[in-house]
Structure 1
Amino acid sequence: MSESLGSAVRGAPQTTLRHQLAELRGPAVVPRPMDARALAALAANPGCKRRALLDGAGVDKAVLAERLGSPAAYGQSQFAIMRGNAFEAKVKADGGRELLRLLGVDDAAGVEVPDLAAAGPEGRAARTALALREATEAGAWTLLDHPLLALDVAGSPVFLEPDAVVIGPDGRWTVVEIKSFPMIDGAADASKVGAAARQAAVYVLALERVAAVTEGARVARSVLLVCPKDFSNLPAASVVDVRKQVSVTRRQLDRLTRIEDIAAALPEGLTFDVETCTPEQLTEAVEAVPHAYAPECLAACELAFHCRERARCAGAVEVLGRSVRGELGGLTTIGAVLDAARGQDGDGGTPCSGEAESSGEDDPTVAAVRRARALRAEALEAGACL
Structure 2
Amino acid sequence: MSESLDSGPPPQAPTTPLRQRLAELRGPDARPRPLDARALAALAANPGCDRRALLDGAGVDKAALAAALGSPTAFGQSQFAFMRGNAFEARVISDGGAELMRLLGAESPGGFRLPDLGAAGPEGRAARTALALREATADGVWTLLTHPMLALEVAGSPAYLEPDAVVVGPDGRWTVVEIKSFPMIDASADAAKVGAAARQAAVYVLALERVAARTGGASVAHSVLLVCPKDFSNLPTASAVDVRKQLSVTRRQLARLTRVEDIAAALPDGTTFDPERPAEQLTAAVESVPAAYAPECLAACELAFHCRERSRRRGAVETLGRSVRGELGGLRTVGDVLAAARGAAGDPDDPAVAALRRAAALRAEALASVPAARTGRQPLPEAAGCR
Tell me whether the two structures share a fold, i.e. TM-score over 0.5.
yes
Partner of 2:203: 202
Partner of 1:375: 362
Partner of 1:283: 283
Partner of 1:317: 317
Partner of 1:138: 139
Cα drift, residue 265 of structure 1: 0.7
Partner of 1:335: 335
The 5-angstrom pairing of residues 98-113 of structure 1 reads: 98-107=99-108, 109-113=110-114
* Cα deviation 1:2-46 (Å, max 9, x = unaligned): xxxxxxxxxxx9743222211111131011111100100000000
Partner of 2:188: 187
8 Å Cα contact 2:144-2:167 kept in structure 1:
yes
Partner of 2:3: none
The 3-state SS of whatever aligns with 1:17 is: helix
* Cα deviation 1:182-201 (Å, max 9, x = unaligned): 00000000110000000000
Partner of 2:7: none
Cα drift, residue 326 of structure 1: 1.1
What RMSD, in angstroms, separates the aligned Cα atoms of the two structures? 1.6
Partner of 1:7: none
Distance 1:143 1:382, change over 3 A: farther
TM-score with structure 2 setting the length:
0.90
AA aligned opposite 2:286: V
Distance 1:29 1:14, change over 3 A: closer
Cα drift, residue 103 of structure 1: 0.6
Distance in 2 (CA, whole Å) between partners of 1:171 and 1:17 is 38
Distance 1:382 1:251, change over 3 A: farther
Distance 1:16 1:181, change over 3 A: same
Cα drift, residue 374 of structure 1: 1.5
Distance in 2 (CA, whole Å) between partners of 1:333 and 1:288 is 20
Cα drift, residue 101 of structure 1: 1.0
The 5-angstrom pairing of residues 216-295 of structure 1 reads: 216-275=217-276, 277-295=277-295
Distance in 2 (CA, whole Å) between partners of 1:365 and 1:378 is 20
8 Å Cα contact 1:118-1:127 kept in structure 2:
no
Partner of 1:307: 307
Distance in 2 (CA, whole Å) between partners of 1:334 and 1:91 is 51
* Cα deviation 1:193-219 (Å, max 9, x = unaligned): 000000000000000000000000000
Out of 322-331 and 162-171, give the one that drifted further: 322-331
TM-score with structure 1 setting the length:
0.90
Contiguous gaps of at least 5 residues in structure 1: 1-12, 346-358
The 3-state SS of whatever aligns with 1:360 is: coil
AA aligned opposite 1:360: D
Out of 301-310 and 68-77, give the one that drifted further: 68-77
Distance in 2 (CA, whole Å) between partners of 1:148 and 1:382 is 67
Partner of 1:3: none
Distance 1:79 1:14, change over 3 A: closer
8 Å Cα contact 1:173-1:218 kept in structure 2:
yes
Q: Are 1:72 and 2:73 counterparts?
A: yes
Distance in 2 (CA, whole Å) between partners of 1:56 and 1:41 is 13
8 Å Cα contact 2:96-2:111 kept in structure 1:
no
8 Å Cα contact 1:95-1:108 kept in structure 2:
no
Matched positions, count: 360
Cα drift, residue 74 of structure 1: 2.2
